[in-house]
Every structure is written in C-alpha cells, then in structure tokens.
Structure 1
C-alpha cells in the first residue's frame, strides 16, 4: 500500500508548495502537482500521471476534495474511477472524507449519494429542457465525439476480463472518460435487451 498525494492550484502565480508540504507531512510518499490547471478540466497532466501511478490498495491523499475537480460531475466521475481502481481517498481538512475506515466509508457514501442526486437532478432538468426545445422546433446540445466505431471498441474493452478501466478506454480512444461513460450509457438504453457483446480478444489493453 502506497500513500500518494495530489495537489493543484488553478493559477500560475499561486504556489502549490504549501499543499505539497502538507501532503508529505501527512505521509504521502509521492506527490503529483498540477500548477495553473483549471478545476473544470479533468485531463490535467499530473492528475493523469497520478491515476496511472495509483494501484489497487493505495491511498490518495488530498488537502481538500475540490482539488480533484471543480464541478460535481467531474468529482463524482473521478470518485467512481478511483473506486474502480480499488484506491482509497483521504482528505486532510474534511474528516468525513476517509474511505480507509468503516465509519469514513459510510459517511463518505452518504455525501456521495447526495452529490449524485444533485447531478442527476441537473441532468434530468437539462433533458426536459432539450425535449421542450425540440418540441418547439429547436435542437440543443453539441455533437458527440463518440462515433459508432468508438462506442463498439469501448463496449468490447469493458467486456474484457477484467474490464478495462474508464481511463484506459478514454486514453485509447483519445476522448474523455465522461464521453465514454455517457456514450455507453446511451447505447445500453437504446439496445436494452440485446445480448452482451463478445470480449475483444484482439485488443491488448493494460487494465489496473
């Protein structure tokens, strides 16, 4: 088990050294630092390096949970990805965020449920708004980067044993993991009841 730290500041003129020192003092053996990267951008260079470095059983240490993402959507997706990798998370300034203890896991689960509920509510309101706009002859939204070919590759990679992680699929397809999740969810809704696709034996992907 390795304790890994992650720090981030949004502006170049900000100094991340204080965060880095706190994480090291709390036991982080290695600290990844994004300097001048927006919290609303998920594919930050050092965060991607951190995710690649983390292994099942490791603990990710942050000063505050918002260091991982500036929106609830990004934060929830990130937490799901950490859970998929078998990585625990601990916040230095938020005692409730500590999945290394039974009580921490329980309290964190409650926080995550309410955050997910808020995101789902926003998503549902957006969907209703788009449906209303279409009914009025207006079409909203933007084109997806997930083509039919990319969706099929993503589906096959998830069907592997063990399944490829969302980050691995996203890197392979050169898209965000959010785009992959969304496209597969939409595809599953459309194709509900169809048999699961065969495993992609011809793809060689490292999954952690």
Structure 2
C-alpha cells in the first residue's frame, strides 16, 4: 500500500467482506471528497457481491472519487470498457467466494461423515464425565466444588450438564 501512495489506511480486522456493516470501510467511504482516489487491495474486499461492489463504485464515481484496485489493475477511465471489465471481475470475485464457501462446506461434511469433529478437543473425556455424573447424583457437592474437583471451569460444567 505504501507504493500506492495511500494517505490513510482503513482495515476491518476480523470482519468478513460478506457482512453488510464494516465500520472501517464505512468510515473510509464517508471521508472521501471529490478528487480523492479510493484504493483497495483486492476487489472482493469491497463488497458482498457483484451488485454491492458496483453500487459502491457507482457512488464513488457520482461523488467524483477515482477508484483503484491494486490486484486487478482496474482502470475506470477507459469508459464503458473499464466498467465492463469491472463488472466481469466483480462477478468472478463473487464466484470465487461462493466456490470457496462450497468447498469448505463439502470438506466439513466429509470430515463429519468420517466421525471427525471440528474445534479443539473437549476437556471432558469419558472418565471425567462419569465422575461429574457421580458427583452430581450424590448431591453432596456444589457445582462450583464439582468444577474445581474435576479441573474444569464452571462454564464447562454447566455446558456438560446441559447435554445430560
């Protein structure tokens, strides 16, 4: 971005490009004035889908703001040809996102069908679960004591209890 001579850098950390509300993007768009150039690293970071990307860029053009994507090298000053290229690239970005989601879901489904579960391993194994059940059934200990005795947090204990 330094090579692109960017004055201000806005980044929505941990926010998906598919979300409608992205505070830093909104802030950047609000601060633009006529004659400014809005630079993005990649077109797919700009909007949720082709329609959304085109709406954002149309708004920029209407406000007299130049648009530049560093990855795709889009030149909107090329007239209708530039806009056609933008539309095609935005559609491909949407297709790429949809394909990635589809592959991720297929991978998760395949892993699930093989008995694998996502996430980190549970802190409560079969032996610990049996101990928890026994302590609960005895009625002699508070839940805080049971959590302490089994080496788990109270939140984990309550989660285990909710599945019993």
User: Which protein is richer in strand relative to its size?
Assistant: 1
User: Which protein is richer in helix relative to its size?
Assistant: 2
Instruction: State the TM-score, normalized to the length of structure 1.
Output: 0.39
Q: Is the radius of gyration larger for structure 1 or structure 2?
A: 2
